[in-house]
Amino acid sequence: MALVNECFLSLPGNYLFSEINKKVNTFSLQHPDAKLIRMGIGDVTKPLAKAVIDAMHQAVVEMSDAKTFRGYGPEQGYRFLIEKIIEIDFRSRGVTVQPEEVFISDGCKSDMGNIGGLFAKENVVAVTDPVYPVYVDSNVMDGRGGGTSASGMWKNIVYLPCIKENDFIPALPEKPVDIIYLCFPNNPTGTTLTKPELKKWVDYALETGALILFDAAYEAFIAEEDVPHSIFEIEGAENCAIEFRSFSKTAGFTGIRCGYTVVPKKVAARTGTGKKIFLNALWNRRQTTKFNGVSYITQRAAEAVYSDEGMRQCKENIAYYMKNAAIVRDGLKHMGLEAFGGINAPYIWFKTPENIDSWTFFDRMLKEIHVIGTPGVGFGPSGEGCLRLTAFGSREDTVAAMERFQSWSI
Amino acid sequence: MALVNECFLSLPGNYLFSEINKKVNTFSLQHPDAKLIRMGIGDVTKPLAKAVIDAMHQAVVEMSDAKTFRGYGPEQGYRFLIEKIIEIDFRSRGVTVQPEEVFISDGCKSDMGNIGGLFAKENVVAVTDPVYPVYVDSNVMDGRGGGTSASGMWKNIVYLPCIKENDFIPALPEKPVDIIYLCFPNNPTGTTLTKPELKKWVDYALETGALILFDAAYEAFIAEEDVPHSIFEIEGAENCAIEFRSFSKTAGFTGIRCGYTVVPKKVAARTGTGKKIFLNALWNRRQTTKFNGVSYITQRAAEAVYSDEGMRQCKENIAYYMKNAAIVRDGLKHMGLEAFGGINAPYIWFKTPENIDSWTFFDRMLKEIHVIGTPGVGFGPSGEGCLRLTAFGSREDTVAAMERFQSWSI
């Protein structure tokens, strides 16, 4: 008789964004005339850069002719893309990455979700709180949750609060942890760490043998100096960290699906008897067994992001979104709300007035001003009483949303 | 200190096809003038159908304009594609499938590799032998291998021989099993089951509570009557089976990446206390957490496979490959070799002369006639002394390979 992985059963039934979708769809059906402004899910709205479009047309043409047709590519990705990544994303920042350390994938979410398969169930996982739900949910599926306490927190997961009171800078864990998820610039708070702050984490990992899973999906939005774009800018990180990158927000690839993961050859974990096992070979074995590479057309699209034209066009789009971010941040502050982020990241995090809880405020925003945010508590207990807004809408919608906020008697 | 999943360490270092690639690359470097004919990896060579190419150009155009741009799609896939699948692949064969039962993915390999995450470590897995290595390797990663015996077989995995002596029809397992992988038309042997033969498996699963994971990646190559295209053509299968499909071979999508999985709402597994858990919801939770959907452009390409033009063009390509299959099969038989498959599947399975072992014969083929096959033993112990050839080459190469065989003094 087939037996299920019972870890699934302890998970809440819905992924956060599916839950939001359901609420919004229900409201839309009941109020078909309401003009909703969506600042909830972090999905881009600007079309793909022309350089990317041209590259895809060209790749489609290649696929139409037996002489240039491409079938199975390397599971790890094509060298033409890997070499651009190394040159532009790393070498230009003084970081050395080898081609065999880069694995192209269909997106950061897949890799961050699947990486857990490489590790023993017994690892203690630490996450910043609030946090992108995939880190927690995927670990619960893998058996590292340990059941929830009355507060809804997972007993075996260590939560590191990132809140206004600590300037959104997580403190090192008080009890030993084995795997640490860090995402900077941060989703959902939009805040960042400076190099010295990130260095504390690398030093901690080197000292304790912990592994850092570093989500750098938003690095392209960094505007300030001294904010690291890659954890590998920190000395020693190549011995203790894996980095995840995405083209979703950098180049508007949310509907195209491409990202990559850097697993340095030196980074290792241990067996129960203390033997060092290098993770690059393990991830390679995982990817070659359970994955079959990314569409050739998509990889040519990603390559075009690194052309001069592509980089210029993507930067223009990012600048557009970051102007939206400033409008949102300033608008909320002007109302007297406490707002964070939006400077090095496309997310603005704000506290509800009078400590209204996140879902109540989400519902009120939806019903009263028809603006969709994301309830902070959906990202973890430290997010209660906050909401996340994204800067990925059109300028017109962003301005209109802020006007609705201003004229709203909360 | 981060601890690895030690199940990985018991796996052979290389995935079968990576191993073959390495051998071939080494030979090529040493013999740059040798004109290799590749009949090893099952990769297609014909370009994409015009209907598919046109659909992709159109989708790329849509992605270039904010009004038609698509960002995140549903993780489960777009309805426009799901509805075509239901209509053409199932309804036309008298099978009822609901839209929520279909999950679009980046390929059958990913889904077959990832589905194991839904199940407890304690399940006893049965595979036909020889078998597509992904089924075994992914279960070993998930902890269901139990170490290898002297023969190289995994102690906790039940092997069901499919050999000449039983007409490649696996016998029901002698000891109870919980999860059964079936692939028909079969990779690697190219053989099939008739409806009454497949019904025995469905009946067994219904009786014992076992789950069948049915890989139907090659259904488009079926030429004979009474060979089921879908396991759901068998009464009751919707209560005990999950089916995996791929566009890779059907439509030449090996470089495009698209497949789908049908998880009927009625199919369930059990908790340790015997509670029924429906797998559709679990797979949905897995996919929404660890996957982010397939490229919009790819899904439009897959939709075009179901257009009248697309179906006609794909069928032409399949007929072309199946003519190759007949050439290979006849060529081998003409030499006095025992050859199987190649009638309802693009694979031909043959026994080496004088029981030469698979890898020795692989090496000799490579070195002496420059033809690349796949060693049967790479698919499992029952494959020893056999090789697989694929029909996916060009006509010219296929004919040339057979000429080399004919003039070869083995």
Q: Which of B3, B66, B271 sits opposite A269 (nearest CB)?
A: B3
The pLDDT of residue A205 is above 80: yes
| CA distance readout (Å), B118 to A4, B244, B285 | 6, 15, 10
- Distance separating alpha carbons of residues B329 and B38, to the nearest angstrom: 16
Q: Work out the minimum CA distance from A93 to partner chain B, whole angstroms.
A: 28
What are the two backbone dihedrals, phi and then psi, of residue A99, each rounded to the nearest 5 degrees?
-55, -40
Percent over 70 (pLDDT), chain A: 100
**How many Cα atoms occupy the beta-carbon half-sphere of B4 within 13 Å?**
23
Q: How crowded is residue B240: how many other Cβ atoms within 10 Å of its Cβ?
A: 27
Task: Tell me the DSSP string of B28-74.
Answer: HHH-TT---EE-SS----SPPPHHHHHHHHHHHHHHTSTTT---S--
- Distance separating alpha carbons of residues A156 and A147, to the nearest angstrom: 8
Diameter of chain B measured on Cα atoms: 66
Percent over 90 (pLDDT), chain B: 95
By the 8 A CB rule, do B115 and B213 touch?
yes
By the 8 A CB rule, do B341 and B187 touch?
no
Length of chain B: 410
Q: B266-296: per-residue pLDDT in tens? A: 999 999 999 999 999 999 999 999 999 999 9
Q: Do B46 and A66 touch (CB under 8 A)?
A: yes
Contacts of A204 in chain B (CB under 8 A): none
A338 closest CA partner among A368, A367, A376, A369: A376
* Apex A23 CA angle, A358 and A9, nearest 5: 85
Q: A360-386: per-residue pLDDT in tens? A: 999 999 999 999 999 999 999 999 999
- At B152 the pLDDT is 83
Q: What's the mean pLDDT in A165-177?
A: 97
Q: Work out the minimum CA distance from B337 to partner chain A, whole angstroms.
A: 30
Q: What is the CATH number of domain A15-47+309-406?
A: 3.90.1150.10
Q: Do B41 and A106 touch (CB under 8 A)?
A: no
- At A16 the pLDDT is 82
Q: What's the mean pLDDT in A280-292?
A: 96
Q: Work out the minimum CA distance from A109 to partner chain B, whole angstroms.
A: 6
- 3 state DSSP class of A19: helix
Chain A residue with Cα closest to B291: A110
- Residue B138 touches chain A, beta carbons under 8 Å: yes
What are the two backbone dihedrals, phi and then psi, of residue B131, each rounded to the nearest 5 degrees?
-150, 155
Q: Do B119 and A8 touch (CB under 8 A)?
A: no
Beta pairing class for B374-375 and B386-390: antiparallel
Q: Can you point out the beta strands (E) in B165-264?
A: 179-183, 211-215, 241-246, 259-262
pTM value? 0.97
Q: What's the mean pLDDT in A316-328?
A: 98
Q: Which of B63, B70, B134 sits opposite A289 (nearest CB)?
A: B134
Q: Which of B5, B61, B290 sits opposite A138 (nearest CB)?
A: B290
B224 closest CA partner among B383, B358, B341: B341
- Distance separating alpha carbons of residues B88 and B211, to the nearest angstrom: 26
Q: Which of A65, A269, A291 sits opposite B110 (nearest CB)?
A: A291
DSSP-assigned beta bridge partners for residue B224: none
Length of chain A: 410
Which amino acid would we find at residue A383? G
SS3 content of chain A, % helix, strand, coil (to 5): 45, 15, 40
- Distance separating alpha carbons of residues A71 and A296, to the nearest angstrom: 8
Chain B residue with Cα closest to A136: B289
Average pLDDT value for chain A: 96
- Residue A296 touches chain B, beta carbons under 8 Å: yes
Average pLDDT value for chain B: 96
Calculate helix-pair angle for A308-334, A395-406, nearest 10 degrees.
10
A-facing residues of B in 319-378 (CB < 8 A) are none
| CA distance readout (Å), A336 to A159, A189, A333 | 29, 18, 5
**How many Cα atoms occupy the beta-carbon half-sphere of A103 within 13 Å?**
30
Q: Do A48 and B66 touch (CB under 8 A)?
A: no
Cα B208 from chain centroid?
A: 26
- At A150 the pLDDT is 83
- Residue A113 touches chain B, beta carbons under 8 Å: yes
End-to-end CA distance of chain A: 56
- At B15 the pLDDT is 72
By the 8 A CB rule, do A301 and A253 touch?
yes
Q: Do B45 and A65 touch (CB under 8 A)?
A: no
Contacts of A4 in chain B (CB under 8 A): 118-120, 269-271, 277, 279, 282
- Residue A93 touches chain B, beta carbons under 8 Å: no
Element (H, E) at B299: helix B296-305
Q: Work out the minimum CA distance from A406 to partner chain B, whole angstroms.
A: 28
Q: Do B296 and A123 touch (CB under 8 A)?
A: no
Q: Which of B4, B53, B281 sits opposite A120 (nearest CB)?
A: B4
Calculate helix-pair angle for B133-141, A279-290, nearest 10 degrees.
140
The pLDDT of residue B14 is above 80: no
Contacts of B11 in chain A (CB under 8 A): 285
The pLDDT of residue A321 is above 80: yes
Confidence of residue A17 (pLDDT cuts 50, 70, 90): confident
Cα A392 from chain centroid?
A: 14
Q: What is the CATH number of domain B54-307?
A: 3.40.640.10
The pLDDT of residue B194 is above 90: yes
Q: Work out the minimum CA distance from A153 to partner chain B, whole angstroms.
A: 18
Chain B residue with Cα closest to A291: B110
Q: B299-318: per-residue pLDDT in tens? A: 999 999 999 999 999 999 99
- Distance separating alpha carbons of residues A195 and A82, to the nearest angstrom: 26
DSSP state of B19: H
Confidence of residue B42 (pLDDT cuts 50, 70, 90): confident
- Residue A56 touches chain B, beta carbons under 8 Å: yes
Q: Which of B72, B120, B270 sits opposite A41 (nearest CB)?
A: B72
Q: Which of A4, A64, A120 sits opposite B47 (nearest CB)?
A: A64
Calculate helix-pair angle for B296-305, A296-305, nearest 10 degrees.
150
Q: Do B47 and A69 touch (CB under 8 A)?
A: yes
Tokens 């392209």 -> residue = A220
B272-290 burial string, b = 16+ CB within 10 Å, else e?
eeeeebbbbebbbbbbbbb
- Residue B95 touches chain A, beta carbons under 8 Å: no
- Residue B273 touches chain A, beta carbons under 8 Å: no
B294 closest CA partner among A164, A236, A149, A106: A106
Chain B residue with Cα closest to A114: B290
Confidence of residue B409 (pLDDT cuts 50, 70, 90): confident
Q: Do B71 and A46 touch (CB under 8 A)?
A: no
By the 8 A CB rule, do B24 and A297 touch?
no
- Residue A138 touches chain B, beta carbons under 8 Å: yes
Residues in CB range of A26: below 8 A, 6 or more apart: none
Q: B347-377: per-residue pLDDT in tens? A: 999 999 999 999 999 999 999 999 999 999 9
By the 8 A CB rule, do B257 and B297 touch?
no
The pLDDT of residue B13 is above 80: no
- Distance separating alpha carbons of residues B103 and B38, to the nearest angstrom: 33
Q: How crowded is residue A220: how many other Cβ atoms within 10 Å of its Cβ?
A: 23
For the record, the structure tokens of A136 come out as 């927690």
CATH homologous superfamily for B14-47+309-406? Aspartate Aminotransferase, domain 1 (3.90.1150.10)
- Residue B282 touches chain A, beta carbons under 8 Å: yes
Calculate helix-pair angle for B279-290, A133-141, nearest 10 degrees.
140
- Distance separating alpha carbons of residues A158 and B318, to the nearest angstrom: 54
Q: Which of A106, A270, A296 sits opposite B4 (nearest CB)?
A: A270
- At A409 the pLDDT is 85
- Residue A22 touches chain B, beta carbons under 8 Å: no
Diameter of chain A measured on Cα atoms: 66
| CA distance readout (Å), B94 to A398, B81, B219 | 50, 19, 16
Contacts of A269 in chain B (CB under 8 A): 1-4
Contacts of A289 in chain B (CB under 8 A): 15, 113, 133-134, 137-138, 141
- At B181 the pLDDT is 98
Q: A186-196: per-residue pLDDT in tens? A: 999 999 999 99
By the 8 A CB rule, do A43 and B310 touch?
no
Task: Tell me the DSSP string of B331-366.
Answer: HHHHTT--EEE-SSSSEEEEEPGGG--HHHHHHHII
Q: Which of A43, A47, A281 sits opposite B65 (nearest CB)?
A: A47
By the 8 A CB rule, do A299 and A78 touch?
yes
Q: Do B178 and A3 touch (CB under 8 A)?
A: yes
Q: Which of B60, B71, B209 sits opposite A56 (nearest CB)?
A: B60
For the record, the structure tokens of A161 come out as 């609060």
By the 8 A CB rule, do A134 and A381 touch?
no
- Residue B255 touches chain A, beta carbons under 8 Å: yes
Q: What's the mean pLDDT in B232-244?
A: 98
Confidence of residue A279 (pLDDT cuts 50, 70, 90): very high
Chain B residue with Cα closest to A177: B1
Domain borders along chain B are 14-47+309-406, 54-307
The pLDDT of residue A42 is above 90: no
Residues in CB range of A137: below 8 A, 6 or more apart: A11, A15, B289
- At B410 the pLDDT is 80
For the record, the structure tokens of B392 come out as 């996916």
- Distance separating alpha carbons of residues B8 and B137, to the nearest angstrom: 9
- Residue A105 touches chain B, beta carbons under 8 Å: no
**How many Cα atoms occupy the beta-carbon half-sphere of B91 within 13 Å?**
9
Q: What's the mean pLDDT in A76-87?
A: 98
- At B16 the pLDDT is 82
- At A373 the pLDDT is 97
- At B85 the pLDDT is 98
Cis peptide before B353, with omega less than 30 degrees from 0? Answer: no
Residues in CB range of A309: below 8 A, 6 or more apart: A49, A50, A51
| Cβ pairs bridging A and B (under 8 Å) | 269
Contacts of B119 in chain A (CB under 8 A): 2-5
Q: Do B1 and A178 touch (CB under 8 A)?
A: yes
By the 8 A CB rule, do A388 and A230 touch?
no
- Distance separating alpha carbons of residues B197 and B119, to the nearest angstrom: 27
Q: Work out the minimum CA distance from B353 to partner chain A, whole angstroms.
A: 31
